[in-house]
Amino acid sequence: MAAWIRSYRSCRWAWSSWDTGLRRTSSSASALVGLAELMLSGCTTAADHLYIYPNGCRID
């Protein structure tokens, strides 16, 4: 667990130094455009919740 926390912290630092050009407005605008494209294409879900079950796992 400690190794995972250390790797998570380093990834967060790398991401925050990489995305200095992103602002809240640009993130919101890109999310809204993506949602609009999903709605216009007829997408009913944006996440497959059954994907989290490993192969061979049954849902009872």
Which pLDDT value is given to residue 52?
A: 66
CA pair distance 44, 38, nearest whole angstrom: 8
Residue the block writes with tokens 């993506």: 34
Q: Which residues of 18-31 are buried (b: 16+ CB within 10 A; e: fewer)?
A: eeeeeeeeeeeeee
Instruction: Provide the token pair at 49.
Output: 């919740």
What confidence tens digit (pLDDT) does each residue in 23-53 have? 777 778 888 898 899 889 888 776 666 666 6
